[in-house]
Amino acid sequence: MNSVNMLGEFMLGLLNIIFLDLVLAGDNAIVIGLAARNLHPATQKKAIVLGTAGAVVLRIAATLLVVWLLEIPWLRLAGGLLLLWIAYKLLTDGGGPAEVKAGDNIGSAVRTIIVADAAMGLDNVIAIAGAARHNTVLVALGLLISVPIVVWGSTLFIRLLSNFPWIIYAGAAVLGYTAAGMIAEEREMESFFASHPLLRALFYGLVITVILAAGYRKRRSGSADEGQEKAAG
């Protein structure tokens, strides 16, 4: 593989990681804002910066750990199946972020931001570990770029998601593709898929189609139920 192709794959992987983190981290960004809401405006920015820095370091460490764990037999398969569930929940979960206690001083706010981000970031960690394809540089660089964007651009991105619902479907499709890749690259299955490229392509397409169809059906069903409740009320 020449250097141009390697660079192209690296950039595509980086964009993939950034996109996944943006799609999955909306609630995390809201939590960060809630944790610092009681602070003086001049202190809020400092708390958010420090909390975000701590969250990025912790997220990178956790993701690198998961990248290493995925080398254990059958864990890539388990991770891929978990990622499929995350993709489905992305399309169907209409709930907001959990209630977060606001810190009354900068130390408390920073601690809350780091703990809340760690507790809510499992989906991001699994997705990015799968998309990184064993490349630790991609993990670190992707998170260093995307997490600050999520924090400071959360309001804009959430508005975009509301106005352009297709972004959620695009994110679920990318998650489905990543999950299919994790399953196909499971050590016990890799040789089979490598020797049957057509079946591999069909498997990727089937996984993405099933996730999008199931999520779309659930969303339509939920919308219909809400309409019936409003009509009955």
The angle subtended at Cα 119 by Cα 94 and Cα 126, nearest 5°, is 80
210 Cβ contact list (under 8 Å, min separation 6): 176
Percentage of residues in the chain having pLDDT higher than 90: 11
pLDDT one-digit tens code per residue, 133-151: 778 888 888 777 776 666 6
Angle at 70 between CA 210 and CA 13, to 5 degrees: 65
pLDDT at residue 29 greater than cutoff 90: no
Task: Identify the band that residue 89 occupies on the pLDDT scale cut at 50, 70 and 90.
Answer: confident
More confident residue, 131 or 180: 180
d(CA 228, CA 233): 9
Residue 203, judged by CB atoms within 10 A of its CB (0-12, 13-18, 19+), counts as middle
* 178 compared with 94, residue with greater pLDDT: 178
Query: With 70 as the cut, is the pLDDT of residue 223 above it?
Result: no
With beta carbons less than 8 A apart as the criterion, state whether 62 and 140 touch.
Answer: no
Q: Is 74 exposed, middle or buried (0-12, 13-18, 19+ CB in 10 A)?
A: exposed
For 118-142, what is the mean pLDDT?
77
**Is pLDDT of 225 > 80?**
no
Query: Would the pLDDT of 45 be above 60?
Result: yes
Question: Which pLDDT band, with edges at 50, 70 and 90, does 228 fall under?
Answer: low
Confirm if 189 and 158 have CB atoms less than 8 A apart: no
What's the pLDDT tens digit per position in 161-203?
668 878 888 888 988 998 898 899 888 888 999 999 999 999 9
Tell me how far apart the alpha carbons of residues 36 and 154 are, in angstroms, rounded to a whole number: 14
Q: Is-above-0.85 flag for pTM? A: no
More confident residue, 210 or 83: 210
pLDDT of residue 209: 96
Dihedral angle computed from the Cα positions of residues 171, 175, 177 and 182, in that order, rounded to the nearest 10 degrees: 160
Cα–Cα–Cα angle for 19, 24, 27, nearest 5°? 135
90 within 8 A of 24, measured Cβ to Cβ? yes
**177/46: higher pLDDT:** 177
DSSP 185-214: TSTTTHHHHHH-HHHHHHHHHHHHHHHHHH
- Given a cut of 80, whether residue 79 has pLDDT beyond it is yes
Boundaries of domain holding 168:
3-232
Number of structural domains, the chain? 1
pLDDT tens per residue across span 56-73? 788 788 888 888 887 888
